[in-house]
Structure 1
């Protein structure tokens, strides 16, 4: 089988993304890596780190440490470390769209993305809510956000909503979509033939038999029962405060949480450094870092590259599994 080809987007050029890409480029790897980026930004990061960097044209052999294939996406300006410039918003979004389009066209087998700065992108005149949403709209498909580390995988029914809006967003259709996409991804991308998925309740104690809320009885349980009748192994709805106990987690391949801060604090506490953000449901694997731009660390050489390295390794494994299934 030919080596997996990954597209890499550093993200915000004034943040830690470019230097994390330089750290990643120092790793020995059995996949091909092509950055969609401004070479000046990568060169400045390499110089700040004091690390070697050889940028080469696509389709050249650049698998040795310090080498990186590049497709140039020029920034409007070269920002200082820690000082993002809204004029670069078009290049940041353009790199994501160009790399994703190349994945959709089959030129690359997966997409790895660094952290972006939402506020700066919007200040640059681009309406932007998140890369997950951008990639889903470009591909024209429904997606699910999952965060994962070596201990647990957590998929979300709702993502970035105010807490008071979450209950109204828990619908039979949303649960069905989330669980079907998660189940299919666990089979296709993680190689789990018959995954067991734990599903959390919305309310404390999973509603306490209806005394602490009716969503479990009226919405969640019927949705789970309908999918169980099709053969899915779904456990729940479970109280969120005990579902993550180590003894229970060992029996689950993934946990589906109803809202962002129900599941992700546990995941980040259990292993933030190696945590990654996956977009399930795309026609190609997409894996991102699970942290922000860290503007206060940029250019100092102290940012931890573990999440980006884990993202690339995870994406390569997912892409290889898809290739073997073809």
Structure 2
């Protein structure tokens, strides 16, 4: 059903999540796509700047389309105690986790077309015993028991106009990245990415560029052996599996305009190798997409911004882009 709303989990209630959710609704209320917020009703209202009547509790996701033009529809799962904007607390973690779980449950049941997650503060969640590195890994666990045809994630992709990048390792200390790489991990990330380019982005013959780890992609093993021993064999394996993959290529020459015309996505080996070029191209509007799951999930490509929370300064560009992209992907999957 193309008219299903999306579910937006509120993220850390002390961050800019409530504000960007409300601003995204303000921008989309007449055009859509519609969404229902899963979070604390009072925090969503606080994000509106105290605008009366523009936040409304609903009992089910199916009510979102009816309400969306007049107010932000919210499935209210209250915090146990009030939260002050800009002051994160592990005491909010249980509610934050419950919001994510509920949004994912709505997507798995088919009640919503996909999930958009506002930013969370990992440190606050870790303080409450949260065992996952971040949203991506948690979503993988929540959806693990559900059927998904094809190569399985979760794989993180960042997208901006003119560039898509997928990550083999995500929140891994740089010193640990070489040991974390393997042929199998690179091949799986490549298969998931190629599959998503076809299924979620409508690209019939996706072209995948694979970045090297070392300067100059190792220069045939003279500046590191990872390209010779791991990355190169993974690229050849991807080709054998029918993926149009190239590389390993020096990362410093992969992201200029002429290079970007030659591929549909880059497979990057570590966090900053992928995120720096995306944020250079479109700092405000990049989108985080989780590939290889039985649900659609997107997120703004930024954090909680506690330093400006509650001050009305947050820009909703990335949240709006994430909502629109989730809807586009959900419609393609129908």
1:162 and 1:219 map into 2 onto residues whose CA distance is 19
Shift, 1:51, TM fit: 7.5
Q: Give the TM-score taking structure 1 as reference length.
A: 0.94
Q: How far apart, CA to CA, are the structure 2 residues paired with 1:104 and 1:279?
A: 15
Query: Residue 35 of structure 2 corresponds to which residue in structure 1?
Result: 33
Aligned partners of 1:154 and 1:254 also within 8 Å: yes
- The farther-off stretch of 210-219 and 123-132 is 123-132
User: Does structure 1 conserve the Cα–Cα contact (< 8 Å) formed by 2:86 and 2:307?
Assistant: yes
Kindly provide the CA deviation profile for residues 97-139 of structure 1, in whole angstroms up to 9, marking residues without a partner as x.
1111221122211000101111112223433421111110111
Which residue does 1:276 correspond to in 2? 287
Corresponding residue for 1:4? 4
Give the alignment of 1:214-229 within 5 angstroms.
214-229=225-240
Q: Note the C-alpha offset of 1:5.
A: 2.1
Mapped pair 1:231 → 2:231: no
Name which of 179, 187, 197 aligns with 1:168.
179
Aligned counterparts, 1:154-193, within 5 A: 154-193=165-204
Residues 296-311 of structure 1 aligned to structure 2 (within 5 Å): 296-311=307-322
Match of 1:146 among 157, 168, 184: 157
Query: Taking structure 2 as the reference length, what is the TM-score of the superposition?
Result: 0.92
Q: Deviations over 1:5-42 (max 9, x none)?
A: 21101101111100111111112333331111111111
**Equivalent of 1:132, from 123, 133, 136?**
136
Give 1:56 deviation, angstroms. 4.3
Cα deviations across residues 69-104 of structure 1 (Å, max 9, x unaligned)? 221111111211111232111000110011112211
RMSD across aligned positions (CA): 1.5
* 5+ long unaligned stretches in structure 2: 145-151
Q: Give the whole-Å Cα distance in 2 for the aligned partners of 1:210 and 1:117.
A: 39
Q: In the alignment, which of 87, 104, 108 is matched to residue 104 of structure 1?
A: 108
Q: Deviations over 1:253-310 (max 9, x none)?
A: 1011111111211111111100111111110110011111111111111100001000
**Alignment check: 8 A CA contact 1:7 1:33 kept:** yes
Deviation at 1:52, TM superposition (A): 5.7
1:62 pairs with 37, 60, 67, which one? 67
Alpha-carbon shift at residue 229 of structure 1 (Å): 2.2
Structure 2 distance, partners of 1:17, 1:243, is: 33
Match of 2:149 in 1: none
Give unpaired runs (5+ residues) of structure 1: none
Q: How many correspondences in the alignment?
A: 321
